């Protein structure tokens, strides 16, 4: 195990000599044609990784393991919603994916065509993705249950030749019918796909329209056919994944093939304890980037089995996640802090009842991990709790601790150190000049972005440049739109979005800083802080707090929370109001909808709520506002 200084030297080498570093890492995957070099960077910020090389994601994830370990488990598909579980070996996955690929080709879909996937967390969703990669089609996965308007926007932008969908998903025992949402989206959209392949789970009745094809019948016609993986140029788009845009139009993040495969292979080895024969369990969804990178592609590229889980952390009981870890001897687990905070409120006996000693580490991402939750789960599991910070755009972690490379200690509140390949720079928001140690700056990445990061936005190079590289002209700095601060050892602490800054009487405060102060109170399970308009100060912070079970909410607790903020940050940061709510409005990926909270509190339109998990949480805040005193 290397020291902290050794790791810093390795990281610096990856920045100073990307050619040498990534040429070595590229040997982790199979190439049908080896690349002539690692990087061509003559048109920044557009980097071309592994030019001249040809490879295939599906081959690296499935076929190469089916050839040498055909009977080893590849996908472990568990649904606590339907009470089903099935394990597919690498050989079985190859057979299923080949049948899906043959079906695509029979319907006229080929290299460069788009396949839009609107599916719950079931095996067919992974087969549909891998089949597209197999024949060089470009998949775009839309989170199952997304509203029709959001789905239509993605259909019109990607212009898919085929759509793959299911009749329904299920959450907490409630069936969510997908077909009516899809039909409505197709009625709104200008683009028309050639066919819609429908997987019938028997959860919601539906009728096949003229463009619909029954998946079971279609795949049965092609089962047994051998469809070879098509060698693809390294730069060939592997998928489009849409993320929110500040203009309201979603941004189609475009990923390449060769760079993505190499980055995932490297991250599985150096970050996530990847090992052939191990089991990886991510509680995310294929609709998000974590699901792409660390449910479908990353674990399979590493030769691991991946758990595909349809369910929640608390049903049928709060021990379900730990029971899966124990049953399948999970080596690496990946979840969101929201799930941990939810489980933290439950009886610890649910965790203690299961043998989780197979775990090497628990990784968390998607939102900041507060120190009390980190300490609780670390003590409960007895393994490292490794926060990691990244984005849909980067495809894999920017900041974490690469414990297979370095024995650097965890620092509560920090995801860790810059990951190899990422040239992380904290800069002044106005000048783009480096921020001093200990001073807040915008977290940026110097071009070229490493392999695996977005190469552009789908059919919109100009927006790619202006949206991500436009804040600091002439410097080729990608903005993450997050504030950060670095300590003397290089650990970075994320302070929140640059657009979540509160300007109180000329003083700029990050909502994340105030939230961290609030969570130091032992009664607090979760919190969100927003800045609202104030006639005197411009803005003032208010806090919404979810209280742990067994603690009473009232004026005394509110006063204690205010004092905790004053103690941790200063009187200027004290919330003007503390409001107790049963839950926070969040997206399905666990991110707090601060802008929507702020809009409701200021009696404005909260905007697009297609990603909200529980509209009742936002309605509770609306009701609170009606009874709150005017600012």
User: What kind of architecture, by CATH, is found in domain 505-627?
Assistant: 2-Layer Sandwich (3.30)
Burial (CB < 10 A; 0-12, 13-18, 19+), residue 599, is middle
419-477 pLDDT, tens digit per residue, is: 999 999 999 988 999 999 889 999 999 999 999 999 999 999 999 999 999 999 999 99
State the span(s) of the chain assigned CATH 3.30.300.30. Answer: 505-627
- For domain 4-311+388-482, the question of CATH label 3.40.50.12780 is answered with yes
Mean pLDDT of the chain: 92
Q: Which tokens belong to 627?
A: 């009874």
The per-residue pLDDT for 247 is 46
Strand partners, 86: 77
Model confidence pLDDT, tens digit, residues 158-212: 999 999 999 999 999 999 999 999 999 999 999 999 999 999 999 999 999 889 9
Please say whether the dihedral angle defined by the alpha carbons of residues 379, 382, 384 and 389, taken in this order, is positive or negative: negative
Q: Where in the chain is the domain with CATH 3.40.50.12780?
A: 4-311+388-482
HEC per residue, 594-608: HHHHHHHHCCCCCCC
pLDDT of residue 246: 47
Buried b (16+ CB within 10 A) or exposed e, 112-133: ebbbbbbbbbbbbbbbbbbbbb
Residues contacting residue 554 through CB under 8 Å, at least 6 positions apart = none
Residue stretches of the chain with pLDDT short of 50: 246-247
Q: Bridge partners of 486?
A: 492
Give, rounded to a whole angstrom, the gap between the first and last alpha carbons of the chain. Answer: 56
Closest Cα partner for 125 from 178, 72, 175? 178
Nearest to 404 by CA among 363, 366, 364: 363
For residue 113, what pLDDT is reported? 98
- Give, for 332, the enclosing helix (H) or strand (E): strand 332-335
């Amino acid at each position: 195990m290397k020291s902290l200084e050794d790791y810093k030297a390795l990281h610096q080498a990856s920045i100073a000599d990307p050619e040498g570093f990534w040429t070595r890492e590229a040997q982790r995957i199979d190439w049908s044609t080896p690349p002539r070099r690692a990087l061509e960077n003559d048109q920044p910020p557009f980097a071309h990784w592994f030019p001249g090389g040809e490879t295939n994601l599906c081959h690296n994830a499935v076929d190469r393991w089916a050839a040498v370990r055909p009977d080893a488990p590849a996908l472990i598909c568990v649904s606590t919603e339907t009470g089903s579980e099935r394990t597919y070996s690498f050989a079985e996955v190859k057979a299923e994916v080949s049948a899906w690929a043959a079906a695509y080709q029979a319907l006229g879909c080929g290299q460069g065509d788009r396949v839009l996937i609107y599916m719950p967390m079931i095996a067919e969703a992974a087969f549909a993705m891998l089949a597209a990669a197999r024949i060089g089609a470009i998949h775009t996965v839309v989170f199952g249950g997304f509203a029709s308007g959001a789905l239509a926007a993605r259909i019109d932008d990607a212009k898919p030749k085929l759509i793959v969908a299911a009749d329904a998903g299920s959450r907490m025992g409630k069936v969510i019918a997908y077909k009516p949402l899809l039909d409505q989206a197709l009625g709104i959209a200008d683009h028309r796909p050639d066919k819609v392949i429908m997987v019938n789970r028997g959860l919601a009745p539906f009728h096949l329209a003229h463009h619909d094809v029954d998946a079971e019948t279609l795949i049965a016609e092609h089962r047994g056919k051998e469809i070879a993986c098509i060698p693809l140029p390294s730069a060939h788009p592997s998928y489009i994944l849409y993320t929110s845009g500040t203009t309201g139009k979603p941004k189609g993040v475009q990923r390449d093939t060769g760079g993505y495969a190499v980055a995932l292979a490297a991250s599985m080895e150096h970050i996530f304890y990847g090992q052939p024969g191990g089991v990886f369990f991510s509680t995310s969804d294929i609709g998000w980037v974590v699901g792409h990178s660390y449910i479908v592609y990353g674990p399979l590229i590493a030769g691991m089995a991946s758990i595909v889980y349809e369910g929640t952390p608390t049903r049928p009981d709060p021990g379900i996640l730990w029971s899966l870890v124990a049953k399948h001897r999970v080596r690496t687990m990946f979840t969101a802090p929201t799930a941990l905070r939810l489980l933290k409120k439950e009886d610890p006996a649910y965790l203690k009842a299961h043998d989780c000693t197979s775990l090497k580490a628990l990784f968390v991402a998607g939102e900041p991990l507060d120190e009390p939750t980190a300490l609780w789960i670390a003590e409960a599991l007895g393994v490292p709790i490794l926060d990691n910070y990244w984005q849909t755009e980067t495809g894999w972690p920017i900041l974490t601790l690469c414990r297979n490379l370095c024995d650097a200690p965890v620092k509560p509140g920090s995801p860790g150190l810059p990951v190899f390949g990422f040239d992380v720079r904290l800069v002044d928001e106005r000048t783009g000049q480096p921020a001093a140690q200990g001073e807040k700056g915008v977290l940026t990445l110097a071009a070229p972005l490493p392999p695996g990061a977005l190469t552009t936005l789908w059919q919109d190079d100009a927006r790619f440049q202006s949206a991500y590289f436009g804040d600091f002209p002439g410097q080729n700095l990608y903005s993450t739109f997050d504030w950060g601060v670095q300590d003397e050892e290089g650990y970075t602490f994320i302070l929140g979005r640059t657009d979540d800054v509160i300007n109180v009487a000329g003083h700029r405060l990050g909502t994340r800083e105030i939230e961290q102060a609030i969570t130091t109170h032992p009664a607090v399970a979760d919190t969100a802080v927003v800045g609202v308009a104030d006639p005197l100060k411009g803005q003032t912070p208010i806090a919404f707090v979810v209280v742990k079970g067994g603690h009473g909410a009232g004026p005394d607790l509110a006063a204690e929370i205010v004092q905790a903020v004053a103690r941790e940050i200063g009187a200027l940061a004290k919330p003007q109001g503390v409001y107790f709510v049963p839950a926070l409005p969040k997206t399905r990926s666990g991110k707090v909808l601060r802008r929507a909270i702020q809009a409701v509190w200021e009696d404005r339109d909260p905007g697009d709520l297609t990603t909200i998990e529980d509209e009742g949480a936002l309605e509770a805040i609306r009701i609170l506002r009606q009874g709150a005193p005017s600012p």
